[in-house]
Structure 1
Amino acid sequence: MNILLRLDESLQGRLEASIGEQISDEIVIRGWDYFMNDRVLSLKLIDGDTLFASVHGAGEMYMVGLDAGQFKYSTCTCPQDNPCEHMAAVYFAYTRNAFGEDEAKHAYSRLRNGGAEAAGRHKAQPQRSGLSPAGRPQEAHPDQWLEWMKQEHGEEWRKCHHSLHALQPVLQSLKGSARDWERPLQRIHWMLAVAFVLDQAERAINSVDSFSRYYHEMSFARMAEPWVEHYYALALELSPESMGHDELEWIQFLKEYVKKRALGTERTLFEWTYLYMAICEKMSQQPGWRDREQHALEQTAALGAAEVNLSFIRTALAMMSFFVKEDSKALAYLDQTEFDKIQSIVYPCASQRLDEQDWELFGQWMAFIYERIRSSRNSRTIASFVTLCRAADVDQPSNPVWTRYMTDLLPYSYIELSEHWLSVHKYEEWADLQLLMGIHPDDMDAQDVKDVMKAAPAIMIPLYHQAAEDWIAARNRQGYKLAVKQLKKLERLYKAEKLSDVWQRYLDNLIHRFGRLRALQEELRKGKFIP
């Protein structure tokens, strides 16, 4: 294996922390076994932040990409949905290559201990029974409800030292206070309760020292995921066309509450922009609502960049235009915002236009994204884009732009592109890609090789040629043995294709070219290629 560079120290710390947080103790142990049995092959560091390697799994070869900067973009071609032992094995292999065997052992020990601590942090906490606020009926104004929430639960965030478990009973209590309400108003009350609890979580994370914040963010965000998902599910149930006076009053109050959070310029843990947009998308169905809200946003923007989050306003205005299919206008707004801050907006928009099969508008979004990722290409910025390209190429195979986008983004698009060409039976393109990337047949997924051998066996001939030549170029006995192994498979392919004369000419030329390599000649004799 060959490591060209080391990860930055802070990146390595983040990667190890992510593995400790997201990979269980049992999986870490299995990853260590994979590493100790030398199952990690072809380890490379790309662009200083992404580790690529192939791992010998249970009879199959898997391709792993570890994104040290943002672990959630890490990938493995194995069937598991969660971070797996192959990822852990790659990290151990990197640690040994970069720092030595002892440091790999230390990393294993740290992850084992970290896994135990993480498990302890996620044990279920006792929950308090729900509370009912006296004198806070359904008819009360929402600002009265919010004031009561603050009085009763406004300091609960101080109990969130390492997790958000202290806020779970708060949310249950707030929801329970509206258990007997009519469903339409109850729905909005519950959304406000979620927003209030998320606001408490923001206060908790801001009390953490900067050194510990990264680790707390991962823990807090994971704990809050079901709360946020419930908020979005409730938003989807909103029915603007049938809302009465009380519901409109509550939804307006809720919208302003999350909007105020989104307008802030401080760093936040949660995506308040999307909590706001979830309301706007539904309420835009009501005549005149979108125009009024758009005007309010424009007025707020006039206050100046020092006082408001202009990125949020431009994103919100873009989505207002998207809702009514004014996509060119939407993209003009987004063009004024840093792409890193809007990725989670642009990809769903492009995906929606793809689902609608609106190829003109979808093409506008894809061109917009491509222009912004091609200069700073890396695995985490292109993953969603390549996924869209694959889907578009299936639905519109006559348009070559989808393939061009994917090939232009190599090597970061390699795994997705390789899988795509196999899925659409473009075996020649698939083989050319393996040759370009220098991937040997023995490093590929065993089932993929079987499928290609069955459908188009001749496609594999150049791949075995390259593998044999690469192993000979290693100039050592083990390399020569592996080269002979590839030559055996190559011979069978040539004969199966009834090209025995071509095979013999190639073999004679190879023996002649490397006649001075005594060890290779010996291995060729053992393989019965030389009498």
Structure 2
Amino acid sequence: MMNIPNDMNMDDAQWQQLIRQVAEYFNNLTIMRGFQYYKQKRVGPLTYTEQNGILAKVQGSDDYEVTLSLQSLNTSHCTCPVGSHCKHMIAVLMSYAEQLGRPVHGIVNAHSSTALKQAPKPAAIAPSGRSDYAAHEEDLTIPDNQYSQIKERATELAELEITEWHELFRACLKRLGIGTPSTSYVQAAADELYSIKPKLSAGMDQLFELHVQLYLIRFCVPGRNSITHTPVYLSYPAQLAVDALQKGLEQIFSRPLELSGLKGTRLEQLWNRLEETSAYLRTQMISETSSMMFFTPIYRELWLNWIVPNLQGNRETLESELAFLQEIENGLAAASKPVKPGESVLSVANLTENGSRGPIKSVTLPLPLVLAQSWMYFHLGQDEQAWQRLISGSSAYGIPPEHLLHFLHVLADSSDWKRLSEWLVQLGPLLANRRNSPLNDYMQLWDTAIHHLPDVEHRMWDTLVSMLPHSRPAYEEAMHSRGQWRRWIDFQLSTETEPLEFRVAVLQPIEKDAPELLLPFYHQAVDRYIGHKNRDGYKAAVKLLKRLSKIYKKLKQEEHWEQFITTLAVRNSRLRALQEELRKGKLIS
């Protein structure tokens, strides 16, 4: 902690009061933008004044002077055009938190942490155990004579923040009464919400459609208990409703975000709503599990289909989102080990019990966070960092294959074959312990990559070998489909596979194209079968000997065959049962 006046220090209660003030007076978008300024080190030296005041200059489009009153943030001001409750104030607050030794992520997550602490006790939760959308129905009582006010408020939708959109949705749906998640209720609710939709730009109209779906999904999905971590389950009607909503989302994201004709304030408003949508999804998805993911895929699609295509090479937006995700990670690390007053998260994580520097404590990150970070690195073209995240996540708890395959399909759809081949190499081992279904998809992507870049085929073989034994079916199929008979035979010989385990259709192409390669495969198996020294083994050996006879004949090596079968019979003359089976098979007289 840096040297600051004693009266400017804060105990835990004062710090929490400051967080509550931030949540009360600053919206999420302002906090996010202030965090960008803080990370970019735009805040000058802090000057502490009497009565808990802070003065500082912040570099923006101009140098702005911020005067903060910690006792009442509402009375603070800035020389920027906004004047108060601005991003410059947030940046100064974060610099103060850093000097105080308090975690900056506390300010970044002010809204979510405050909402969590103010949440009702479990006894107040709706009987169905659904989300707080149903639990707080009593708070949403809106007299019918106020419905016109709701519609009038909706005309300002483009200027309202996303949180205000959802508050408006809640008020609007009060007319339907308390509902239960089902397709019929969701349809009625959607109709009700569309009835208040004003005339919007095409892009804002798409965003409205998206948030109708998001709001209704949140209504249908039970909130996870953050204390008991009870698994989330959907009733059958709720599952049907969510399935329908997810199909609607697919259609929404299938259309590019319409920005044509937007400029100035209208374009800025749309981008503000997009950033707020990302922040909303980030908050919703962070507690999801691999078995119940609803908002994580939506977050991915929002960036993939709407945000990234319109960045026009601007990396700052991606880097900013990555910074927000990093702050969440820092918050989880801090929560895993209590921070003493005056100590930063990093210093606690790096100290051993005797006070010396030690390794950073390992924290298992939520799967949605790992995936979100990986996607940001992916969009930035920082593949090494993305792979590192995915590999660590896979080793910690295993990443469902559909999330891994999605990276590959995006590259295939964009015809980025070189990059696709690199990702196939890296993600293959993460799919190795999965069932055949994802490997089938994985191999089809390899086929596509090799079709466009034949030189990468050797990398496929190396990768499949590294994935053994889990990749065996895919490896065998790849060799067989490409006519790699020698490689296929060598693999079977090395694993001592039984020829009789294969269907005739598998071996027929080899007998036709390269019959000589089957000779060691069959001979090795015959010796093993005879070595069993039982009737079943002898019968299996005779079956293969008949195949060998045909191959020698096809190769016009009948003399070699006669010499071999005679030697075999003489060498095993004491095995009476074998001699009987050889005679039954008409291999000897």
CA deviation profile, 1:81-129 (whole Å, cap 9, x unmatched) = xxxxxxxxxxxxxxxxxxxxxxxxxxxxxxxxxxxxxxxxxxxxxxxxx
Q: Which has the larger radius of gyration?
A: 2
What's the counterpart of residue 569 of structure 2?
511
Matched-pair contact (CA < 8 Å) for 2:375–2:386? yes
Q: In structure 2, how many angstroms separate the alpha carbons of the residues matched to 1:410 and 1:156?
A: 58
Matched, 1:147 2:167: yes
> Higher relative contact order by CA 8 Å / sep ≥ 6: 1 or 2?
1
What's the counterpart of residue 274 of structure 1?
297
Please point out which of 163, 172, 175 is paired with 2:187: 172
SS in 1 for 2:208: helix
Q: In structure 1, how many angstroms separate the alpha carbons of the residues matched to 2:292 and 2:453?
A: 39
State the one-letter code of the partner of 1:232.
E
CA deviation profile, 1:369-416 (whole Å, cap 9, x unmatched) = 35x649x85657983655544544454444422211112322221211
Please point out which of 202, 210, 218 is paired with 1:191: 210
Q: In structure 2, how many angstroms separate the alpha carbons of the residues matched to 1:326 and 1:148?
A: 40
Aligned-residue offset at 1:521: 0.9
State the one-letter code of the partner of 1:176.
D
Matched-pair contact (CA < 8 Å) for 1:350–1:366? yes
Q: Work out the number of aligned pairs and report it.
A: 390
State the one-letter code of the partner of 2:375.
M
Q: In structure 2, how many angstroms separate the alpha carbons of the residues matched to 1:420 and 1:226?
A: 38
Matched, 1:283 2:307: yes
CA deviation profile, 1:503-524 (whole Å, cap 9, x unmatched) = 1222123213322221111111
Matched, 1:232 2:250: yes
Matched, 1:460 2:518: yes
What's the counterpart of residue 417 of structure 1?
475
TM-score (norm 1): 0.60
State the one-letter code of the partner of 2:214.
A
State the one-letter code of the partner of 1:490.
L
CA deviation profile, 1:172-230 (whole Å, cap 9, x unmatched) = 234334288776545333322332333344317769x999x598699987874553343
Aligned-residue offset at 1:232: 3.4
* Gap change, CA 1:511 and 1:410, over 3 Å in 2: farther
State the one-letter code of the partner of 1:197.
L
1:247-326 residue pairs with structure 2 within 5 A?
247-248=270-271, 250-264=273-287, 269-281=292-304, 282-287=306-311, 291-292=316-317, 294-299=319-324, 301-302=326-327, 304-306=330-332, 312-313=368-369, 315-326=371-382
State the one-letter code of the partner of 2:308.
S
* Gap change, CA 1:351 and 1:512, over 3 Å in 2: farther
SS in 1 for 2:381: coil
Matched-pair contact (CA < 8 Å) for 1:480–1:520? yes
Q: In structure 1, how many angstroms separate the alpha carbons of the residues matched to 2:179 and 2:532?
A: 61
Aligned-CA RMSD value:
4.4
Aligned-residue offset at 1:253: 4.2
Q: In structure 2, how many angstroms separate the alpha carbons of the residues matched to 1:218 and 1:428?
A: 53
* Gap change, CA 1:470 and 1:310, over 3 Å in 2: closer
* Gap change, CA 1:509 and 1:369, over 3 Å in 2: same
Aligned-residue offset at 1:139: 3.1
State the one-letter code of the partner of 1:294.
E
SS in 1 for 2:155: coil
Ranges in structure 1 where 5+ consecutive residues have no aligned partner: 1-131, 160-165
Aligned-residue offset at 1:467: 4.1
Aligned-residue offset at 1:420: 1.3
Matched-pair contact (CA < 8 Å) for 2:222–2:232? no
Q: In structure 2, how many angstroms separate the alpha carbons of the residues matched to 1:518 and 1:302?
A: 78
- Percent of paired sites with the same residue: 19
TM-score (norm 2): 0.55
Q: In structure 1, how many angstroms separate the alpha carbons of the residues matched to 2:175 and 2:321?
A: 29
Matched-pair contact (CA < 8 Å) for 1:205–1:216? no
Aligned-residue offset at 1:500: 0.9
Q: In structure 2, how many angstroms separate the alpha carbons of the residues matched to 1:390 and 1:145?
A: 47
SS in 1 for 2:542: helix
1:28-427 residue pairs with structure 2 within 5 A?
135=148, 137=151, 139=155, 141=157, 142-147=162-167, 149-150=169-170, 152=173, 166-177=181-192, 178=194, 184-203=203-222, 224-225=242-243, 227-239=245-257, 241-242=259-260, 244=262, 245=266, 247-248=270-271, 250-264=273-287, 269-281=292-304, 282-287=306-311, 291-292=316-317, 294-299=319-324, 301-302=326-327, 304-306=330-332, 312-313=368-369, 315-331=371-387, 337-338=393-394, 340-341=398-399, 344-353=402-411, 358=416, 361-362=419-420, 364-369=422-427, 373=430, 377=433, 379=435, 383=439, 388-399=445-456, 400-427=458-485
Deviates more, 1:420-429 or 1:149-158: 149-158
Q: In structure 2, how many angstroms separate the alpha carbons of the residues matched to 1:146 and 1:261?
A: 14
Matched-pair contact (CA < 8 Å) for 2:411–2:419? yes
Q: In structure 2, how many angstroms separate the alpha carbons of the residues matched to 1:417 and 1:176?
A: 52
* Gap change, CA 1:506 and 1:256, over 3 Å in 2: same
Please point out which of 483, 493, 506 is paired with 1:448: 506
* Gap change, CA 1:407 and 1:330, over 3 Å in 2: closer
Matched-pair contact (CA < 8 Å) for 2:538–2:581? yes
Deviates more, 1:500-509 or 1:439-448: 439-448
* Gap change, CA 1:336 and 1:425, over 3 Å in 2: closer
SS in 1 for 2:256: coil
SS in 1 for 2:520: helix
Q: In structure 1, how many angstroms separate the alpha carbons of the residues matched to 2:567 and 2:240?
A: 60
What's the counterpart of residue 543 of structure 2?
485
Q: In structure 1, how many angstroms separate the alpha carbons of the residues matched to 2:282 and 2:170?
A: 18
Aligned-residue offset at 1:283: 1.2
